[in-house]
């Protein structure tokens, strides 16, 4: 049974590269969804999940672009896999809208979104729209935006991501479903995988 919390208007959080730091995350408590402290850190990471995972596990974290589809001028649909030492840790689907010619040129390079925001410079706004948890995964929906880009991102991670057995246990989540394109969070409303 999945538990979902949608935040009204999104929670605005900041970090070194962000603005509008709001420290009231009481919506986690209000939701009645139990998250571990490490899961809450991952859920509120604002474009720096790769760094959070690397610091926690003290291992190499890679981002593999599984799909980078230019839908039209200035509009992309993406799917990436984030892995810790080769073990799938997160799948993300996103819609990216470029608002400047510079952003369009950078998006054509097909890199990670965190690296893209760094390359474009400027601060980014982070807005956490939804968090959820079921018997195998926890997930979030959020936006990242600056003067160059607006990104709507949905991420799903295994429940044992921050447990000692993450690299050795048989997880109840099935990353191959996300990897193969059998499930695409962004296509759910359109009724088909891409």
pLDDT digits (tens, 9 = 90+) for 57-94: 999 999 999 999 999 999 999 999 999 999 999 999 99
Q: How confident is the model at residue 21 (pLDDT cuts 50, 70, 90)?
A: very low
What DSSP designation does 185 have? G
Q: Residue 11: name the closest of 153, 152, 143 by CA.
A: 143
* CB-CB contact of 25 with 151 (8 Å): no
Q: What global pTM score does this model have?
A: 0.80
pLDDT digits (tens, 9 = 90+) for 50-59: 999 999 999 9
Say which residue the tokens 């899961």 belong to: 39
Please state, in angstroms and rounded to a whole number, the distance separating the CA atoms of residues 144 and 18: 10
**DSSP-based three-state secondary structure for 137:** strand
């Amino acid at each position: 049974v999945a538990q979902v919390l949608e935040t009204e208007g999104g929670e605005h959080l900041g970090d070194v590269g962000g603005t509008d730091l709001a420290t009231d995350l009481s919506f986690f408590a209000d939701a009645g969804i139990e998250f571990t402290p490490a899961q809450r850190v991952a859920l509120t990471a604002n474009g720096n999940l790769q760094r959070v995972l690397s610091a926690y596990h003290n291992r190499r974290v890679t981002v593999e672009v599984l799909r980078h589809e230019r839908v039209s001028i200035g509009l992309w649909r993406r799917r990436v896999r984030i892995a810790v030492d080769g073990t799938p840790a997160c799948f993300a689907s996103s819609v990216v809208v470029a608002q400047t010619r510079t952003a369009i040129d950078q998006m054509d390079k097909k890199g990670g979104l965190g690296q893209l925001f760094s390359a474009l410079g400027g601060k980014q706004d982070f807005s956490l729209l939804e968090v959820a948890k079921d018997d195998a995964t926890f997930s979030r929906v959020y936006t990242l935006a600056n003067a160059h880009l607006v990104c709507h991102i949905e991420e799903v991670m295994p429940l044992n991501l921050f447990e000692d057995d993450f690299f050795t246990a048989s997880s109840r989540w099935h990353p191959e479903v996300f990897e193969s394109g059998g499930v695409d969070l962004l296509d759910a409303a359109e009724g088909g995988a891409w």
